Structures are given as structure tokens and as C-alpha cells.
Amino acid sequence: MWIKICGLNDTQNAREVAQLGPDAIGLNFYGRSPRSVSIEIAAKIVSDLPENVEPVGLFVNHSVDEILRTCRECAIRTVQLHGDEPPEQLAELASANPDLRFIRAYRLGEQGFAALTVQLERCKELGVGLDACLIDAKVDGMYGGSGKQAPRTVIRSEYRYDEWPPIVLAGGLNAVNISQAIAEVRPWGIDVSSGVESRPGVKDIEQVSSFVRSARGRLEQKPFTE
């Protein structure tokens, strides 16, 4: 099970979290988020990470130049696009830096996966490969971090597991419900932020430890391949 702890913006807190065994940590560069991090602090966090913990940059409607510059200055190779970025932007990023890996976030609501179907078909036309799709809950006015659960029955019944990129499940996860969520959705990976916090941006070490242990008790999956 690929585990990502997202929304870290403090070097000491990130260092402590990284020692608990996640596969990745998320660095949120969306300025309106209470979990946002500066490029300077993010670079420091990345420099302190163990080699087996992957830094993931989370972007919301940033320009191609902003994303490339941030990844370069922070030594980030995995980009999570969490806004309204079109497939054409992914193609431009991939062309500018072929070493980048992409997680496409999708906020699942009443419309189901109709919009994601269109996006994935367009990515295929453009030759853009996605390493994963992160499925979060759709909450009006928010791009994530709401703590709301994505509708698991819809994911399980409508997501094309055999055709689409691997699922990273997000939204309302915590140490108490993660085992059940994994059993219901059977994701490739999981992503948690507010569910292991003492306050926005500050991860509670005991909660993170419990979350990782609970998740590790489920299906084992390999992290991103080189």
C-alpha cells in the first residue's frame, strides 16, 4: 500500500513524519490553503527526507513555469495537479521535463466519473501518462483538504480499475476508518492530511503512526517505479 501524508509545512514535523514509514509526503504550494508551504521551506524539507520517502508537489491552477521552477528548486519529481488544469497543461509539463511523474486529482461528486473519462481520453490522445488518479470528495469552493469522504460505493462500482491509472484514495481518512476504506475501494494508494492533524498543517505523530500501521495491515503495493 502506497501511503502519502500530505500538507506538511514545518521541517521538524516533516522529519518526524518521514521516520514513521510513509512512501511519500505532500507539499502543498496552493497559497490559499492553511497547509501551504513556501518554496524555501519545502526545499529544506525535501533535503532532509530519507531516500525512500518521495516528495510530492501539490499544485492548484499554477502556471507551467511556476510548477517547473518549484520542482527544480525543491528537487521534486512527482507533481499532483489538484485544480482545473487541462490535459494540455500536463502535456506541456511532460514535454518540458520528461522525468516528471503525474498524479491527477479528481473531486468526485454527483456527476460521477464523466469528467474524468473525458480528461483521461484526452491525455491518451496527447500521449500523457498518469502514474495515478487521486480521488477526493467534491466540496463546493474547495480544491481538497475538506475532510469529507469521497463516495466509496461510486468509486468501487464505476471506476475502471483495469483501464484507468491506479487509484489513490483521499478524503476523510483517518486511523480509525482506513482499514474499512481500503477494503471497500481496494486502492493502489492512500492520501491523508486533515485526518492525522492536531491543527491545519501540523501532523499529530501518534495519529500518523497509527494510520500507517493500520494501512500497512492491508494489501501491500509497490511504490512508484523508477
Provide the annotated active-site residues. Answer: 6, 136
Q: For residue 171, which of 190, 199, 198 has the smallest C-alpha distance? A: 190
Beta partners for residue 108, in sequence order: 137
Between CA 200 and CA 84 the distance in angstroms is: 23
Helix count and strand count (H, E) for the chain: 8, 10
3-state secondary structure of 131: coil
CA dihedral 135, 25, 194, 147 (to 10 degrees): 0
Beta partners for residue 137, in sequence order: 108
182: which 3 cell numbers? Answer: 481500503
Q: 10 Å Cβ neighbour count for 12?
A: 9
Which residues, including other chains, have CB under 8 Å from residue 124's CB and lie 6 or more apart?
Answer: none
